[in-house]
C-alpha cells in the first residue's frame, strides 16, 4: 500500500511539472516584457486584443494623421483622435479616467510625468523598452523616466534659444547679453512697436535659464529632491537680478508682452531677436526673412543661461481596455521610421539617438543652433512638485518686473509658498 501511495505521489508531481511548463508566461497574456535573458520573445510577438478600438489624445499634425492612418490599415484597429494640448492631458486623464472616459494613449509633456505616475494613470513602457532605449536620445529617455522606470515612448525634444532676424540685425555683434542690450537700445522704437529683443518674460520656463546659469536650482539632486528648494539661493537671486535688467531693453508691462503680440511683431519684421522655443522652428523656416538660431549668450562673470530641455512623448494609460493594442500604437508612432519623418514634416526635433549626426542636417544652421543649446541645457524636472514651482513663481515675475520688488525678499516668499503648497499636496 505504501509503495502504491509513493508511486501515485511521484506521478502527481510529474503531472504538475508538465502543466507548469505548458503555462504561457505573463508576456503572452498581457504584453509585459518579463524577459530574463532566456526568453526568445520579440516585440513582434505582441498581438492586439480582438475588437480593439483606441481613443488617442494629442496635438494633431501631419505626421500624427498619416501615422494613425497607416496603423489602422496595418492592424485593422480603429483609432479615434481627439485634439488635446499635451500639457493638458495629464490633468484630464486623472479626472476622466475614473469616469471611464479617458484615452487609451495620450501625448504628454515630460514635466507632468511624475504626477501621472503617482496618480497611477500611466503604465510603464515595458514590452518595447529595449527598442525605445536603443532608438531614443539620452535626454529624451531621462525625461520619459521616473524613479528609474521608463514610462514614455519619446517623440521629440524641446528647448529654447534666440531666433535672429538677419535682415534687421545684419552684422551686429551678439556674443554676450551686453551685446544684445547694446543692439536693442539702438534699435528700439517703442512708439512704432519696434523692438530689438523680446520674449515671454512672465514664463518661468524661460526665466529658469537665468537662475540655472548662475548656479541656482529648482530642486536639489538633479531636480529630484523636493525638500531642497533652490529658487531663493544666491544663484537664483543673481539670475533674477539679471532678469530684471532686461526690462531696460524691453520697457513694457508683463501683460503687454503676450505671445500673440510678440509673434505678430516677429512675423511683421518689427522684432529683431526673438527668444522662443523649438516648437516654432518649423514656422520660422518659412519666414520672409533670413532667420538664424543662436545659443543663449554669456551673461556676466562668464556665466551662461542654461535652458531647460524637455520631451514630448506618448503614454499608455492604466484605464485602457486594450493594453496590447495601445502599446503597439505608442511604439508605432515613435518608431525609428516614423520619427525619421518628424523634422521634415513638422519642424520638431525628434528624440532619435544619433539624429544630430545625420549628414543631411549638417548645414541646417537653425537646427544645429538648437542642438548646441540642447547639449548645453538641463533636464526639465518631472517630479509632481513642478506644478508648485510654476504656480508659486507666477506672482514673483510681476513683482520683480512690473513693481521693481526686492528680488531676494520676493524669492524668499515664493520659496515659502512652494514649501506650503508641497506640504499641503501630500
Both 69 and 93 in a single domain? yes
What is the reported pLDDT for 21? 37
Domain termination site, one of 338, 358, 375:
375
Q: Kindly state whether residue 99 falls inside one of the protein's structural domains.
A: yes
Both 256 and 288 in a single domain? yes
Q: How confident is residue 44, by pLDDT bands cut at 50, 70 and 90?
A: low
Q: Kindly state whether residue 121 falls inside one of the protein's structural domains.
A: yes
Is the pLDDT score of 38 beyond 50? Answer: no
What is the reported pLDDT for 16? 35
What is the reported pLDDT for 426? 72
pLDDT digit string, tens, across residues 124-180: 999 999 999 999 999 999 999 999 999 999 999 999 999 999 999 999 999 999 999
The answer to whether 117 touches 69, Cβ cutoff 8 Å, is: no
Both 196 and 324 in a single domain? no
Q: Kindly state whether residue 266 falls inside one of the protein's structural domains.
A: yes
Both 197 and 127 in a single domain? no
Q: How confident is residue 357, by pLDDT bands cut at 50, 70 and 90?
A: confident
Both 271 and 418 in a single domain? yes
Provide the phi-psi class of 352: left if phi over 0, else alpha when psi is between -120 and 50, else beta: beta
Q: How confident is residue 276, by pLDDT bands cut at 50, 70 and 90?
A: very high
Q: Kindly state whether residue 133 falls inside one of the protein's structural domains.
A: yes
Greatest CA span in the chain, whole angstroms?
109
What is the reported pLDDT for 13? 36
Mean pLDDT of 310-321: 98
What is the reported pLDDT for 425? 80
Q: Kindly state whether residue 26 falls inside one of the protein's structural domains.
A: no
Both 184 and 285 in a single domain? yes
Both 122 and 174 in a single domain? no
Instruction: Supply the pTM of this predicted model.
Output: 0.87
Both 223 and 298 in a single domain? yes
Q: Kindly state whether residue 314 falls inside one of the protein's structural domains.
A: yes
Mean pLDDT of 253-273: 96
Q: How confident is residue 298, by pLDDT bands cut at 50, 70 and 90?
A: very high
Both 286 and 325 in a single domain? no
- Residue 151's domain spans which residues? 43-158+310-375
Q: How confident is residue 356, by pLDDT bands cut at 50, 70 and 90?
A: confident
Both 259 and 189 in a single domain? yes
What is the reported pLDDT for 96? 96
The answer to whether 75 touches 69, Cβ cutoff 8 Å, is: no
Please tell me which residue, 56 or 44, carries the higher pLDDT value. Answer: 56
Q: How confident is residue 30, by pLDDT bands cut at 50, 70 and 90?
A: very low
Both 148 and 205 in a single domain? no
The answer to whether 271 touches 262, Cβ cutoff 8 Å, is: yes
Total domains in the fold of the chain: 2
Mean pLDDT of 185-209: 96
What's the CATH code of the domain at 371?
Answer: 3.40.190.10
Both 57 and 186 in a single domain? no
Mean pLDDT of 239-262: 96
What is the reported pLDDT for 45? 83
Q: Kindly state whether residue 110 falls inside one of the protein's structural domains.
A: yes
Q: Kindly state whether residue 32 falls inside one of the protein's structural domains.
A: no
Among 34-38, 189-193, 208-212, 232-236, the range scoring the smallest mean pLDDT is 34-38
Nearest to 294 by CA among 401, 197, 193, 185: 197
Amino acid at each position: 500500500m505504501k509503495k502504491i501511495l509513493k508511486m501515485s505521489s511521484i506521478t502527481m508531481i510529474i503531472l504538475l511539472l508538465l502543466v507548469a511548463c505548458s503555462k504561457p508566461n505573463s508576456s503572452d497574456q498581457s504584453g509585459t516584457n518579463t524577459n530574463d535573458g532566456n526568453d526568445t520573445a520579440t516585440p513582434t510577438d505582441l498581438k492586439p486584443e480582438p475588437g480593439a478600438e483606441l481613443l488617442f489624445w494629442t496635438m494633431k499634425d501631419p505626421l500624427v494623421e498619416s501615422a494613425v492612418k497607416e496603423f489602422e490599415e496595418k492592424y485593422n484597429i480603429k483609432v479615434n483622435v481627439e485634439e488635446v494640448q499635451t500639457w493638458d492631458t495629464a490633468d484630464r486623464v486623472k479626472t476622466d479616467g475614473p469616469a471611464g472616459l479617458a484615452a487609451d494613449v495620450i501625448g504628454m509633456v515630460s514635466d507632468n510625468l511624475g504626477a501621472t505616475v503617482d496618480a497611477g494613470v500611466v503604465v510603464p513602457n515595458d514590452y518595447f523598452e529595449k527598442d525605445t532605449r536603443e532608438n531614443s536620445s539620452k535626454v529624451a529617455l531621462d525625461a520619459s523616466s521616473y524613479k528609474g522606470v521608463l514610462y514614455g515612448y519619446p517623440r521629440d525634444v524641446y528647448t529654447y534659444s534666440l531666433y535672429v532676424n538677419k535682415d534687421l540685425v545684419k552684422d551686429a555683434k551678439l556674443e554676450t547679453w551686453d551685446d544684445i542690450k547694446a543692439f536693442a537700445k539702438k534699435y528700439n522704437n517703442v512708439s512704432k512697436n519696434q523692438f530689438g529683443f523680446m520674449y515671454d518674460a512672465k514664463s518661468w520656463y524661460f526665466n529658469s535659464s537665468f537662475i540655472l546659469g548662475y548656479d541656482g536650482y529648482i530642486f536639489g539632486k538633479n531636480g529630484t529632491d523636493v525638500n531642497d528648494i533652490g529658487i531663493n539661493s544666491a544663484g537664483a537671486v543673481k539670475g533674477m537680478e539679471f532678469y530684471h535688467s532686461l526690462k531696460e531693453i524691453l520697457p513694457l508691462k508683463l501683460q503687454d508682452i503676450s505671445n500673440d503680440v510678440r509673434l505678430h511683431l516677429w512675423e511683421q519684421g518689427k522684432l529683431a531677436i526673438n527668444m522662443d522655443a523649438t516648437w516654432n522652428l518649423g514656422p520660422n523656416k518659412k519666414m520672409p526673412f533670413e532667420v538664424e538660431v543662436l545659443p543663449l549668450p554669456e551673461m556676466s562673470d562668464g556665466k551662461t543661461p542654461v535652458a531647460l530641455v524637455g520631451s514630448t512623448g506618448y503614454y499608455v494609460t492604466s484605464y485602457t481596455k486594450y493594453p496590447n493594442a495601445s502599446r503597439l500604437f505608442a511604439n508605432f508612432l515613435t518608431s525609428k521610421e516614423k520619427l525619421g519623418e518628424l523634422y521634415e514634416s513638422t519642424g520638431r526635433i525628434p528624440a532619435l539617438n544619433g539624429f544630430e549626426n545625420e549628414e543631411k542636417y549638417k548645414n541646417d544652421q537653425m537646427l544645429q543652433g538648437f542642438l548646441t543649446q540642447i547639449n548645453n541645457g538641463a533636464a526639465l524636472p518631472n517630479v509632481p512638485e513642478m506644478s508648485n514651482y510654476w504656480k508659486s513663481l507666477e506672482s514673483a515675475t510681476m513683482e520683480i518686473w512690473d513693481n521693481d520688488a526686492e528680488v531676494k525678499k520676493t524669492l524668499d516668499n515664493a520659496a515659502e509658498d512652494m514649501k506650503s503648497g508641497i506640504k499641503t499636496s501630500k
